[in-house]
Structure 1
Amino acid sequence: MRFVSCAALLSLVLLLSACGNSAIEDFSYTDQRGDTVSLEDLEGTPWLATFVFTNCETVCPPMTFNLSSIQEELEAEGLEDYQIVAFSVDPAVDTPETMQAYLSNYTVPDESKWHLLTGYTQLEIAQYAKDNFKSFVRNDPESDQVIHGTSFYLVDQEGVVVNNYDGFDNVPVKDIVNDLRNLLE
């Protein structure tokens, strides 16, 4: 019995360590300004990542509002060396122009730090979300909505996910600001 417990504990430890921080795979997509943004472009700068889409009727508007609030706090703290990256989960609808119009609905302190990305298929972004952020993306068969995770991910200067946070409800803004500050120090 003791051997089984040790084996179970070892399996759990290995599983949890496999779920640790992971490096983001390279990408090259188009943002709301029509500019190409790649992992290489973000190298050397920490960034917050999430998944949204422009005709979302539920979680995306509050998540985008929450990101703009986080940016307000970052600006108030004098933190400037960061980026915000939102991957569209509905790329067939979310053209750069559509995403630019979507972002204009929010009070964003510094839009130059935002990259709302598109330019891939939904299947590609679903796999990318799963492989790189341990997140899910799938169509709702009952509507035109897309089901997706609501986390914010902090990615360090080397492109490694170092933390994730609730991006929809009870967003830990102070923790995100402090964690980003620690990366910059």
Structure 2
Amino acid sequence: MVGWGSELSRAIIRLRLTRGGRVALRGLAVGALAALALVGVRVLSARPAPPDLGGLLPATYPRLDGPAPLVALVDQHGERFTIRDLRGRPALVTFAFGHCETVCPLVVHNALAARRRLAERRPGTPPPALVVVTLDPWRDTPARLPTLFERWMLEEGDIALSGPVEQVNRALDAWGVVRQRDPATGDVVHPALVYVLDGSGRIAYASTGAVDQLVELMERTAVRTSSARRP
């Protein structure tokens, strides 16, 4: 075992000496973080699932049904924001940063596409707000949020959030976002993660951000909310 560990250490060092090797190691790190995030989601207290709606996901897909964190951040208008400011509107909450050119743009694009598809499939369903919390408060300062809002093609009623580094990190920890920042480049390794919130500000589901998955989870949330409001 000692010999195997030494060989592994030397292999990792050799990988770090080449650009391709560093890319491969970052990929492995993303995979490990994604696995940790999935484990974290699964160990949260899940409530009974809604009836099977005949979609892609099993009826046993875990519903989290926990309160969303209320850590205050700063939005693209320079105003203080917490989840309570949604005032009963459902939401998708995801995490990204401006210098990211891989996972982040895709996750934001998928969330917007899922919202459009939900509107097509369930006309009259309140459209969820898309809330994007930066993973890089060092560079994505509140002053830069209007630029990111446009770059991510967010729409009226959507929210981009940043703030002081300590406050943003506190918010990310409260949301359970697994991440690792490279202090040399400022880049952040992180899994794709989107939370589906109901109109009461509670986390209904966690998703990896695939469009079809998000649509189905939003539909389940809407059905459950409608049922709860019936006398």
TM-score by length of 2: 0.61
Return 5+ residue gaps in structure 2 as ranges.
1-41, 47-63, 227-231
Q: Quick check: 1:22–1:160 contact (8 Å CA) kept in 2?
A: yes
Match of 2:213 in 1: 172
* Identical columns (%): 22
Q: Distance in 1 between matches of 2:157 and 2:211?
A: 24
Match of 1:61 in 2: 105
Q: CA deviation at 1:150?
A: 1.1
Amino acid paired to 2:156: S
Distance 1:74 1:96, change over 3 A: farther
Q: Deviations for 1:116-165, whole angstroms, at most 9, x for unmatched residues?
A: 101131x443343333x332133124532112231110112232211011
Q: Quick check: 1:94–1:118 contact (8 Å CA) kept in 2?
A: yes
Q: Segments of 4+ in structure 1 off by > 6 A? A: none
Match of 2:131 in 1: 85
Match of 1:120 in 2: 164
Q: Secondary structure at the match of 1:80?
A: coil
Q: Distance in 1 between matches of 2:181 and 2:44?
A: 31
Q: Secondary structure at the match of 1:56?
A: coil
Greater share of helix residues, 1 or 2?
A: 2
TM-score by length of 1: 0.74
Is 1:51 matched up with 2:92? no
Q: Quick check: 1:57–1:145 contact (8 Å CA) kept in 2?
A: no
Q: Distance in 2 between matches of 1:24 and 1:172?
A: 20
Q: Distance in 1 between matches of 2:68 and 2:224?
A: 17
Q: CA deviation at 1:88?
A: 0.6
Distance 1:91 1:114, change over 3 A: same
Match of 2:195 in 1: 153
Q: Distance in 2 between matches of 1:72 and 1:17?
A: 29
Match of 1:3 in 2: none
Q: Distance in 1 between matches of 2:119 and 2:77?
A: 22
Q: Distance in 1 between matches of 2:164 and 2:45?
A: 28
Amino acid paired to 1:52: A
Greater share of strand residues, 1 or 2?
A: 1
Q: Distance in 1 between matches of 2:44 and 2:130?
A: 27
Q: Distance in 2 between matches of 1:27 and 1:66?
A: 25
Amino acid paired to 1:128: A
- Taking the TM superposition and a 5 Å limit, the aligned residue runs for 1:129-140 are 129-131=172-174, 133-140=175-182
Q: Distance in 2 between matches of 1:17 and 1:88?
A: 24
Report how many residues are paired.
Answer: 166
Q: Secondary structure at the match of 2:70?
A: coil
Q: Secondary structure at the match of 1:158?
A: coil
Larger radius of gyration between Structure 1 and Structure 2: 2
Return 5+ residue gaps in structure 1 as ranges.
1-14
